[in-house]
Amino acid sequence: MVFADLKAQFTRDHTITDWDPEDRVAWDDGNAEIAKRNLVWSVICEHIGFSIWSLFSVTALFMGPQYGISQDQKFVIAATATLVGSCLRIPYTQATARFGGRNWAIFSAFVLVVPTVMTMVLMMNPGEFGFGWFLAVAAITGFGGGNFASSMTNINAFYPQRLKGWALGLNAGGGNIGVPAVQVIGLLVIWLFADRPEIVCAIYLVALAVAGVGAALYMDNLDHQTASGKAMVDCLKYRDTWLICLLYVGTFGSFIGFGFAFSQVLNISFTSAGASKPALAAAQIAWIGPLLGSLARPYGGKLADRIGGGKVTLYCFVAMAAAASILVVAGMSADSNGKVITGGVLAAFITGFILLFLLSGVANGSVYKIIPTIWEHKAQSRTGLTAFGKSTWSRSMSGALIGIAGAAGGLGGVGINLVLRGSYKSNQSATQAFWVFLIFYVVAAAVTWWFYARRPIVLGEKETTDLPVLAAAADSSPVAGDAVNTVAGDAVNTVAGDAVNTVAGDAVNTVAGDAIVDGTTAPAIK
């Protein structure tokens, strides 16, 4: 029976035509189950990709003096993996449209066998390979980071607008759990086998095989899925693209950057505190932060579905600034005590970092809720398109921004590792880096409030509130009584009584007396 089911799955047609997630009848009649099946295996493939991407955050704990790699070089290795994974997110975004979500998931799983085997070889031969080899292999593990963009773009096309926050949050959160998962496996290996890091790699070779075969059997391709290069170029013309990138640097950049660096910061701190087995002590704690951040991400998306992505993101950045303040105070205390890490300072470090992980996870989900909301509303002004055409354009632009923002966020992780490296190298402590993090979160909070959390807003555009709202008319173009302020290049369709204020390049389509508020429709201010 099992083999018959597997054969049926493998031989069936894996291409779906005319997929329309907004068709509620079709959704309830079976499309929801198809989307769920693809989501499950997308999460599995992305999860393992994240684990391979962050493999060196674990192997660094095994790399003692016999490997000839300094602490300073370990931060560079982590930054290299993060950099490559971030840059690959752009082409990976295009891959699902060009090759199909199922086909690309299969390829992206099996290609990670290469860096996993190479890492195993490096770990089994300490001292025989130089720093350059570690950089090269770390760069190849970056292919696991690209999986995020292709997976998110693919799932974005499967789900309706009303469920995107939860679906994208679950997909991303399940993938993000790959970071603490590999760290827990590393902890178990250190505890049980002490110096056998190749066992971690062997476990993931089996996991990659399972993921690749599962994707081949249970995932599907969408025939009309689009994520063209033109969409990415067009996406860059909108101010919202750059704002979302900035916010995602602070959310996902924090998650992945600290995911790579937290174990090293703990290792340095436990060593300074005089722990007998600092690597084991670091491994026992390092996985907690990434796990909480990963689990929080779907709930960030779900909360954003309820109260708006802008509000949730703002609250998170304010709280992240407070968490960074804990690190700054603890770091300054250690610096004033001759760089000695006391038990209290160590506890403050752990508390601050775990809070940052948790909050960045929530904010990751809320920022990604903003993305489809932006394009869903901008699509309504494209009067030359049918309803289905608008939906397709919206998904294409959302997919493009997912890739661009994902790449930008990953680069934030590069910055975190390089800033920490510079701080330790120049001052033998991380306090300077903590100050940089604090300042950035304050700036990000201000940007979020100004563009996405003030009410009323139209996707970041502040609506005029001091103009009278008149009675609605049937005509869909501006008529006497409308108040419309635009800058050259805007396309604005209003109904009498609307007040709209836009900036060049934006397209806004409203209904009489309404204002779009953070992704929801609310009565206009009178």
- Could you give the CA distance from residue 378 to residue 400 in angstroms, rounded to a whole number? 15
Q: Is 30 left (phi over 0), alpha (psi -120 to 50) or beta?
A: left
H helix runs in 54-163, sequence order: 55-62, 71-87, 89-99, 101-110, 113-124, 131-141, 143-158
Q: What is the pLDDT of residue 224?
A: 66
pLDDT category at 517 given cuts 50, 70, 90 is very low
State how beta strands 507-509 and 491-493 pair: parallel
How distant, in Å, are the alpha carbons of 77, 253, 261, 327, 413 from that of 430?
A: 18, 18, 11, 9, 16
How many other CB atoms are found less than 10 A from the CB of residue 206?
Answer: 9
pLDDT category at 27 given cuts 50, 70, 90 is very high
Domain boundaries, the chain: 2-453, 458-526
437: pLDDT strictly greater than 80 = yes
Instruction: Write the DSSP symbol of residue 66.
Output: G
User: Which residues contact residue 143 at a Cβ distance below 8 angstroms, ignoring those fewer than 6 apart?
Assistant: 49, 52, 53, 84, 85, 88, 108, 111, 112, 115
How many other CB atoms are found less than 10 A from the CB of residue 71?
Answer: 15
Instruction: Write the DSSP symbol of residue 237.
Output: T
Q: Which of 149, 142, 47 lies closest to 95, judged by CA?
A: 149
pLDDT category at 266 given cuts 50, 70, 90 is very high
H helix runs in 380-448, sequence order: 387-427, 431-448
| Mean predicted confidence (pLDDT) in 506-525 | 37
Q: Which of 451, 461, 420 lies closest to 437, judged by CA?
A: 420
Tokens describing residue 48: 């393992």
Residue with token string 């899925």: 225
Q: Is 408 left (phi over 0), alpha (psi -120 to 50) or beta?
A: alpha
User: Which residues contact residue 90 at a Cβ distance below 8 angstroms, ignoring those fewer than 6 apart?
Assistant: 149, 232, 403, 404, 407
| Mean predicted confidence (pLDDT) in 133-147 | 94
**pLDDT tens digits for range 330-339:** 999 999 988 8
Q: Give pTM, 2 decimals.
A: 0.73
- Could you give the CA distance from residue 482 to residue 496 in angstroms, rounded to a whole number? 5
H helix runs in 125-238, sequence order: 131-141, 143-158, 164-176, 178-193, 198-218, 229-235
Q: What is the pLDDT of residue 275?
A: 83
Q: What is the pLDDT of residue 9?
A: 67
480: pLDDT strictly greater than 80 = no
Give bridge partners of residue 461 from the DSSP assignment. 458
When computed from its CA atoms, the radius of gyration of the chain, rounded to whole angstroms, is 24
How distant, in Å, are the alpha carbons of 51, 62, 89, 404 from that of 118?
A: 15, 16, 22, 29
What are the backbone dihedrals phi and psi of residue 87, each rounded to the nearest 5 degrees, phi first? Answer: -65, -35
**pLDDT tens digits for range 40-79:** 999 999 999 999 999 998 998 888 889 999 888 999 999 9
- Could you give the CA distance from residue 157 to residue 220 in angstroms, rounded to a whole number? 12
Average pLDDT, the chain: 82
Q: Which of 41, 43, 20 lies closest to 32, judged by CA?
A: 20
**pLDDT tens digits for range 164-193:** 878 887 888 788 899 999 999 998 998 888
How many other CB atoms are found less than 10 A from the CB of residue 443?
Answer: 14
Please spell the DSSP secondary structure of 262-299, one letter per residue. Answer: HHHHHHHHHHHTT-SSHHHHHHHHHTHHHHHHHHHHHH
Give bridge partners of residue 508 from the DSSP assignment. 492
Q: What is the pLDDT of residue 315?
A: 95
Q: What is the pLDDT of residue 272?
A: 84
Amino acid identity for residue 38 in this structure = N
Taking a C-beta distance cutoff of 8 angstroms, is the pair 44, 216 a contact? no
pLDDT category at 492 given cuts 50, 70, 90 is very low
Please spell the DSSP secondary structure of 102-115, one letter per residue. Answer: HHHHHHHHHTTHHH
Taking a C-beta distance cutoff of 8 angstroms, is the pair 144, 89 a contact? no
pLDDT category at 470 given cuts 50, 70, 90 is very low
Kind and range of the H or E element at 240? helix 239-272
pLDDT category at 373 given cuts 50, 70, 90 is confident
- Could you give the CA distance from residue 410 to residue 154 in angstroms, rounded to a whole number? 19
- Fold for 2-453, please state it: Growth Hormone; Chain: A; (1.20.1250)
Taking a C-beta distance cutoff of 8 angstroms, is the pair 34, 16 a contact? yes
**pLDDT tens digits for range 220-249:** 998 866 556 777 788 888 888 999 999 999
Residue with the bigger pLDDT between 520 and 383: it is 383
Residue with the bigger pLDDT between 41 and 465: it is 41
Tokens describing residue 91: 């082409």
Instruction: Write the DSSP symbol of residue 513.
Output: T
